[in-house]
Structure 1
């Protein structure tokens, strides 16, 4: 499946510095998936199309890829901000990279997986955790248009 990335947080592409990925890995003490490391700097703050993902018997939407860059006027979309919101309420090893229209966080889940191979989970606004995909690639290839 081909994913098109469209501006969402900013009006145009806003690439991040490659060092921002390394800083994030160091801060979290994890190895991020290679696909994410290639994608995030170029598409931070952008919306994927298609953007619908399955969660159990229902579906949800991937609003945007959170930003690696922390910019005061856009801090609600920044990874550090989203992480500080969920960190006190979710198990250790869960880190946000995306969000839904309802303010839920799409996260890497490093609990009980090999390094660099986190599962993808949804953290609801009630801080409940639900499995979406076994890895980042599976999550991206599972994105689809809204079904009737």
Structure 2
């Protein structure tokens, strides 16, 4: 992909192909709106309660994402980790308006007594989690494979996870 100046005298190589071009733009496309019927103030209270209850510090980029797109889906849903390619379906909810897709109910059902905090549902049933086993802030992102009951590393931080989401 080449961008030419209006005069045509200068060329800028943007990418070697269309796929690479979209890969570079993916971070700027963001997320689809969520089912955000809960006010930001109440969402912030839920986030604060989770931090206090579980003794953790949620990443600022996660908090911002929840406040803007709770329950939403990324435009670029694909991620790569130890197990290969995965695809984000939607962010789990921090409020209790949809118990089936709430962080608290999924944590209670699958991760109670662990240092894994679920934050998103993947297509195929896997669950993305923040892994607080090693530290109380800036957790790694892992994916839990239900069929194998095993965690696979995805990225070293939530910010890196967001940055490396792809279209395919």
TM-score (ref. length: structure 1): 0.85
Query: Residues 35-54 of structure 1: matches in 2 within 5 Å?
Result: 35-54=61-80
How far residue 62 of structure 1 moved from its aligned partner, in angstroms, is: 0.8
Give aligned pairs, total: 138
- Give the 4+ runs in structure 1 shifted more than 6 A: none
Q: Which runs of 5+ in 1 are unaligned?
A: none
Give the CA deviation at 1:7: 3.9
The residue correspondences of 1:119-138 to structure 2 (distance < 5 A) are 119-126=140-147, 127-138=149-160
CA shift at 1:129, angstroms? 0.5
Aligned-residue CA RMSD (Å): 1.7
1:107 aligned residue: 129
User: Which one of the candidate residues 70, 77, 87 is aligned to 2:96?
Assistant: 70
In structure 1, how many angstroms separate the alpha carbons of the residues matched to 2:32 and 2:60?
A: 21
Is contact 1:52–1:144 with CA below 8 Å preserved after alignment? yes
What is the deviation of 1:57?
Answer: 5.8
* Structure whose CA Rg is larger: 2
Q: Which has the higher helix share?
A: 2
- What residue in structure 2 maps to residue 118 of structure 1? 139
TM normalised by structure 2 equals 0.75
Structure-2 residue corresponding to 1:14: 37
Of residues 63, 67, 79 in structure 1, which corresponds to 2:103?
79
